[in-house]
Chains A and B, each alone.
Chain A
Amino acid sequence: MALALDTPDRDTRRRRTRRPGIASVTLVPAAILVLLAVLGPVLVPFSPIDVVDRPDLPPGGAHWFGTDSAGMDVFSRTIAATRNNLLIGLITTVLATSLGILIGLVVGMNESRRGPVGTLARGVSRALDLVQAVPAIIIGLVLIAFFGASIPSLTVALTVCLLPNQARLVRAEVLRVRGEAYLDAARVSGDSELVLIAKHVLPNSSWPALENASLVFGSAIVLTAGLGFLGVGLHPPTPEWGSMIAIGAPGAASGRWWSALFPAVALALTVFAVSGVGRRLFGDD
C-alpha cells in the first residue's frame, strides 16, 4: 500500500538525473547572460540608441559587429538589448508557464464535474480555445493600443498570447493523471484533494509546460519582433533583439548580413541557456 502512494513517473526521472558536474556547467551561459544584462550598458563602447557612424559598415575596426541601416553600432545594441530581452522573455515565460499550469490544473481536475464548478471549468477551457483562436498579433495590437508600448504592457500582451498553449498542454496531462491508480490510492489513504493535486497531479502533469518554457521564451522575442513590424513594439531605437532582426533581415538578403545575424545569434544562445536552466531546475533530461 505504501508503495502505491509513490508516484512512479516522477520517481524514475529523479533517479536518472543526478549528474552534478554537468548540471552546474549548464548554468554558466545563463550566469553570463544575467551578468551582461546587469552590466551591459556599462560595457558597451558606443551609445546603443544613437547614430554613431555611417550606416551599413561591415564588422571590423571600431565596430566589431558593424553598423545597422541607421548607423547605430550593432555590438553595443546587441549587448544593451540583453536586459530588455531577458526582462520581456523571462517575465513572460514565468507568467505564462505558472498561470498556464495553474489554469491547466484547475480546468483539468474539474472539467468532468457536474454542477457550476464543472461548467465553469469547461467554460474556461473553451475560453482558452477562443483566445488561442485569435492570432497573437491581433491580441498584442489591441492590448498595446490600450496600455501603450512599454515593457510591462508588452509582457502582459505576450503572456496572454502564450498562456493558452501552456494551459492546454498541462490540461491534456491532468486528464491522464487524474485517472491513475496512485491517485485513488492516495484518496483512500485520506489525502485531501488539495494535497493530492500538489503532491501527485502537479509534479506529473506540469512537465510539458516546463519542457515548453524555453520555446515560450523564444516565441516571446519573435512575437515582439512581429509586433514591432506592425509598429506596436517598443519605441525605436530601444535596443531589442526581435526588432533588430526584423529590421536587419531585408538587408541580409542583399548581403548586409551583420545587423540581423548578431542579434539572432544572441537570441539563439539565450534560448539554449534558458533551456539549460530549465533542465537543471526541473531535471528534464
Chain B
Amino acid sequence: MTHLWTRNGWWVRRLAVLPLHLLIFALVVFFLVKLIPGDPVAVLSGGQPMTPEQYEATRASLGLADPIWVQLTTFLGDAVRLDFGNSIISGIGVMDEMSTRLPETVELAVMAMTISALLALALGFLVVLRPRNAVSRVIASYARAAGAVPDFCLGVAGVFVFYSVLHWAPAPIGRYATSLNAPPRTTGFPFLDALLSSDTVLMSSMIQHLWLPIGVLVVAYAPMLLKLFIRSLDQAKNAQATRFRIASGASRPMVLLSVGRRALPSTIAMFGTIFGFMVGGAVVVEQLFAIPGMGEYAVQAVTRADFVALRGFLLVVGAVSLIVFFLVDVVTMSLDPRRRPGVATAGG
C-alpha cells in the first residue's frame, strides 16, 4: 500500500489539488474581467439615449449594482454549479454555447495536433538519423522556420490559392456544405458524430471543408514541435545512456526507443502549450474559414464587453488548459521517471 502511494502519489496529489487551482483561477478570472475596459450597458444601449434611471435599472438587472463581494460570491457559487449565466448580448446560456463550441474546437485542435505530432516524430527521426540526406536538410530548415510565417498568412494564402484560383477547396464557410444537416448529437464532436452515424455524405463534406484549415494549422505549428524534437533527439542520441546501450549490444529499435523516450518530454511540454493555445486562441483560422469556435467567441465577448460570456469562456479554457498541463506533466514524468518530483526527494 505505501509502496503504491510512493509510486503514484506524485500524480494523485496533483490531481487532488486541481479543483483548488480551478477555484483560484475562478477568482483570478473574476477580477481580470473586471479590469477589461468597456461598459456593458453602453454596448447594450447601442448608443441610444437612456435616462439615468434606465441606466441604473439596466446595471442592476446585470447584477452590476451589487457590492463587489456579493457579485464575487454569486459568481463563484454559480460557477461551482457549472452555471455560467446568460450572455448579456444574445441572452443565450454561456454553458450551452460552451458545450457546443468546446468540442468543436477541441476536435479541430486534436486533428491538427495529432497530425503535427506524428509528422514531428517521423521527420525528427529522419533528420537525426540521416543528417546528410538532402530531404533532411530541407526539413531541418523548415523546422528552423518555426514562427517565421504567421498562421494568418498561411491561411490567407491557402484560401487564395486553393479556393479562389485552383478551386480545389470549397468556399471556406463552415465545417460542411451549407445544405447538409448537422449530425445527430451524441458526443458533440462533429466529425465523430458523423462517423458514429455512418453519414458518409456529411463526412466527405467535412473532409473537403477541413483539409485546408487543418493543413494550415499543421504547416504553421508542426515546425514548433519539430524544431525542439530534432534538438532533443540530437542530444539524447549523444548522451551517455545511448552509448551505454549501444556498447551493451542493445538492438537498434531498442536504442531508438530509448532515445525517443528521453527526447520527448520537452516536445510534449511544447505540445501542451500549443494545444492550450489552440483551444483558446485559434481565432485566425476560425475566422478565416468561418468555423465558429472558442477563440471567436472570446473576441466577440471582448468586443461587446460581454463580461458574463468572457468569464464563462475563461473558466472553460482555463479548466481545459490546466487539465492538459496536468496530463503533459504525467506523460512527461511517466516517460522519464527521473523527472518526477518524488524521485529526487527519495534519492536525497
Given a CB threshold of 8 Å, the question of whether A touches B is answered with yes
B280-311 at interface with A (beta carbon < 8 Å): 280-281, 283-284, 295, 298-299, 302-303, 310
A215-274 at interface with B (beta carbon < 8 Å): 215-219, 221-222, 225-226, 230, 242, 245-246, 249-250, 252-253, 255, 257, 260, 264, 267-268, 271-272
In whole angstroms, how far apart are the Cα atoms of A176 and B29 in the complex? 33
The proximity string for B residues 291-334 relative to A, scoring 1 for CB distances below 8 Å and 0 otherwise, is: 00001001100110000001000100110011001000000110
Q: Which of A133, A214, A222, A271 contacts B322 (CB 8 A)?
A: A133
Residue B227, interface by CB 8 Å: yes
Neighbouring B residues of A138 by C-beta, 8 Å: 32, 36, 298, 302, 310, 314
**CB–CB B147/A219 < 8 A:** yes
Neighbouring A residues of B347 by C-beta, 8 Å: 179
Q: Which of B145, B160, B227, B314 contacts A211 (CB 8 A)?
A: B227
Residue B152, interface by CB 8 Å: yes
**CB–CB A136/B317 < 8 A:** no
Residue B88, interface by CB 8 Å: no
**CB–CB A175/B341 < 8 A:** yes
In whole angstroms, how far apart are the Cα atoms of A214 and B223 in the complex? 12
In whole angstroms, how far apart are the Cα atoms of A207 and B345 in the complex? 25
Neighbouring A residues of B238 by C-beta, 8 Å: 9, 12-13
Residue A132, interface by CB 8 Å: yes
Residue A8, interface by CB 8 Å: yes
- On whether A264 and B25 interact (CB within 8 A), knowing A132-B325, A137-B298, A138-B32, the answer reads no
**CB–CB B339/A132 < 8 A:** no
Residue A130, interface by CB 8 Å: yes
For the A-B complex, the count of residue pairs with Cβ-Cβ distances under 8 Å equals 189
The proximity string for B residues 222-240 relative to A, scoring 1 for CB distances below 8 Å and 0 otherwise, is: 0010011001100100111
In whole angstroms, how far apart are the Cα atoms of A180 and B239 in the complex? 12
A12-49 at interface with B (beta carbon < 8 Å): 12-13
Neighbouring B residues of A212 by C-beta, 8 Å: 227-228, 270
**CB–CB B231/A245 < 8 A:** no
**CB–CB A208/B317 < 8 A:** no
**CB–CB B314/A130 < 8 A:** no
**CB–CB A264/B344 < 8 A:** no
The proximity string for A residues 196-207 relative to B, scoring 1 for CB distances below 8 Å and 0 otherwise, is: 000000000001
Q: Which of A113, A146, A165, A216 contacts B35 (CB 8 A)?
A: A146
A223 to chain B, nearest CB (A): 9
A193 to chain B, nearest CB (A): 13
Neighbouring A residues of B28 by C-beta, 8 Å: 130, 134
**CB–CB B235/A207 < 8 A:** yes
**CB–CB B147/A214 < 8 A:** yes
Neighbouring A residues of B314 by C-beta, 8 Å: 134-135, 138
Residue A284, interface by CB 8 Å: yes
Q: Which of A133, A214, A219 contacts B317 (CB 8 A)?
A: A133
- On whether A215 and B273 interact (CB within 8 A), knowing A12-B238, A129-B325, A264-B153, the answer reads no
- On whether A9 and B318 interact (CB within 8 A), knowing A169-B269, A264-B150, the answer reads no
**CB–CB B266/A133 < 8 A:** no
Neighbouring B residues of A63 by C-beta, 8 Å: none
The proximity string for B residues 15-29 relative to A, scoring 1 for CB distances below 8 Å and 0 otherwise, is: 001000100110011
- On whether A284 and B231 interact (CB within 8 A), knowing A218-B150, A246-B152, the answer reads yes
**CB–CB B276/A133 < 8 A:** yes
Q: By DSSP majority rule, is chain B's interface helix, strand, loop, or mixed? A: helix
- On whether A130 and B318 interact (CB within 8 A), knowing A112-B345, A146-B35, A179-B344, the answer reads yes
In whole angstroms, how far apart are the Cα atoms of A207 and B17 in the complex? 31
- On whether A215 and B146 interact (CB within 8 A), knowing A129-B21, A134-B32, the answer reads yes
A245 to chain B, nearest CB (A): 6
Residue B82, interface by CB 8 Å: no
Please tell me the number of chain B residues within 8 Å of chain A, measured between CB atoms: 70
Residue B343, interface by CB 8 Å: yes
Neighbouring A residues of B37 by C-beta, 8 Å: 145
Q: Which of B25, B159, B265, B321 contacts A253 (CB 8 A)?
A: B159
**CB–CB A215/B280 < 8 A:** no
**CB–CB A245/B325 < 8 A:** no
**CB–CB A230/B341 < 8 A:** no
Residue A102, interface by CB 8 Å: no
Nearest chain A residue, comparing its CB with the CB of B343? A179
**CB–CB A112/B342 < 8 A:** yes
B156-210 at interface with A (beta carbon < 8 Å): 156-157, 159-160, 164
In whole angstroms, how far apart are the Cα atoms of A135 and B278 in the complex? 10
In whole angstroms, how far apart are the Cα atoms of A173 and B239 in the complex? 14
Residue A185, interface by CB 8 Å: no
Residue B257, interface by CB 8 Å: no
B300 to chain A, nearest CB (A): 11
**CB–CB B231/A208 < 8 A:** yes
- On whether A112 and B341 interact (CB within 8 A), knowing A225-B150, A264-B150, the answer reads yes
Residue B247, interface by CB 8 Å: no
- On whether A168 and B273 interact (CB within 8 A), knowing A8-B239, A215-B146, A218-B147, the answer reads yes
Residue B144, interface by CB 8 Å: yes
Neighbouring A residues of B150 by C-beta, 8 Å: 218, 221-222, 225, 242, 245, 264, 267
Nearest chain B residue, comparing its CB with the CB of A268? B148
Neighbouring B residues of A250 by C-beta, 8 Å: 156
Neighbouring B residues of A211 by C-beta, 8 Å: 227-228, 231
Neighbouring B residues of A113 by C-beta, 8 Å: 345
**CB–CB B148/A129 < 8 A:** no
Residue A172, interface by CB 8 Å: yes
A-B CB contact pairs (8 Å), 15 listed: A9-B238, A112-B345, A137-B302, A138-B302, A138-B310, A145-B35, A145-B37, A168-B272, A169-B266, A175-B344, A178-B338, A178-B344, A179-B347, A208-B228, A222-B151
The 7 closest A-B pairs by CB, nearest first: A218-B147, A133-B321, A271-B148, A175-B339, A215-B147, A135-B280, A112-B341
